[in-house]
A and B are shown apart, each in its own frame.
Chain A
Amino acid sequence: QKEVEQNSGPLSVPEGAIASLNCTYSDRGSQSFFWYRQYSGKSPELIMSIYSNGDKEDGRFTAQLNKASQYVSLLIRDSQPSDSATYLCAVNGPSNTGKLIFGQGTTLQVKP
């Protein structure tokens, strides 16, 4: 089992719809969770971080964390063509280390 798993996609949604991106992780001791966005040919950029169970909203983005189910998701409301990118889920490794483990990423396509 991979430590951080994402469906590689592509996930295709129409403009204005809600895009739902999912990620599961294997280490129950993980405490910190991140979503990065990577446009083709560019470097990853952080869009959301979440550290406690529940929802965290920032503009059109909502991160959801469920530690019992070892599941973290990212919702993008009112999806725009400019949201088309690969979304990388990242999970902090064992406690008190500097390790960060990435999933393979989900490619999102928002069609006008």
Chain B
Amino acid sequence: EAQVTQNPRYLITVTGKKLTVTCSQNMNHEYMSWYRQDPGLGLRQIYYSMNVEVTDKGDVPEGYKVSRKEKRNFPLILESPSPNQTSLYFCASSAQGPYEQYFGPGTRLTVT
């Protein structure tokens, strides 16, 4: 089954404790991206990757890091999480470019 998977699905953590949210796709897609969704603010793009080893900032990259060492994986790293990073996070992928994306199930992160 073609899918984008994210882990964990739910995470409660404390300020400053480094965490990683994994994202994996099995569709051999070139493009992957991370978004956060907040009430009243909609979906906002954090980082994207056009292909392996190529990543670039979206609209809200501050406080986040990403890496794309393999085509299928695109982890999101929060080096020192803060409460304002409490949000619902989505990973997405598409064959090429930011077109017709498939979204993962989401990761709900709470930072206390």
Size of the chain A interface, CB-CB below 8 angstroms: 20
Known contacts A98-B33, A102-B43: A93-B98 contact under CB 8 Å: yes
Known contacts A43-B105, A43-B106, A98-B49: A103-B42 contact under CB 8 Å: yes
Known contacts A43-B90, A43-B103: A98-B97 contact under CB 8 Å: yes
User: Are A98 and B50 interface neighbours, CB within 8 A?
Assistant: yes
Tell me if A97 is interfacial: C-beta within 8 Å of chain B: yes
The A-B contact count (CB < 8 A) is 56
User: Are B44 and A49 interface neighbours, CB within 8 A?
Assistant: no
Tell me if A22 is interfacial: C-beta within 8 Å of chain B: no
Tell me if A80 is interfacial: C-beta within 8 Å of chain B: no
Partner among B41, B90, B99 whose Cβ is within 8 Å of the Cβ of A44: B90
* Most chain B Cβ neighbours within 10 Å, of A88, A92, A98: A98
User: Are B99 and A32 interface neighbours, CB within 8 A?
Assistant: yes
- Which chain A residue shows the least CB distance to B54? A98
Tell me if B70 is interfacial: C-beta within 8 Å of chain A: no
Digitize B3-41: 1 where CB-to-A-CB distance is under 8 Å, 0 elsewhere: 000000000000000000000000000010101000011
Q: Which residues of B contact A55 (CB under 8 A)?
A: none
Q: Which residues of B contact A101 (CB under 8 A)?
A: 45, 59
Partner among B44, B104, B105 whose Cβ is within 8 Å of the Cβ of A102: B44
Known contacts A44-B90, A100-B33: A105-B100 contact under CB 8 Å: no
A93 to chain B, nearest CB (A): 7
* Most chain B Cβ neighbours within 10 Å, of A34, A43, A46, A92: A43
Tell me if B101 is interfacial: C-beta within 8 Å of chain A: yes
User: Are A99 and B59 interface neighbours, CB within 8 A?
Assistant: yes
Q: Which residues of A contact B103 (CB under 8 A)?
A: 43-45
What are 7 A-B contacts with C-beta separation under 8 Å? A43-B106, A44-B90, A88-B42, A88-B43, A98-B50, A99-B48, A102-B45
The 4 nearest A-B residue pairs measured at CB? A100-B98, A104-B42, A43-B103, A98-B48
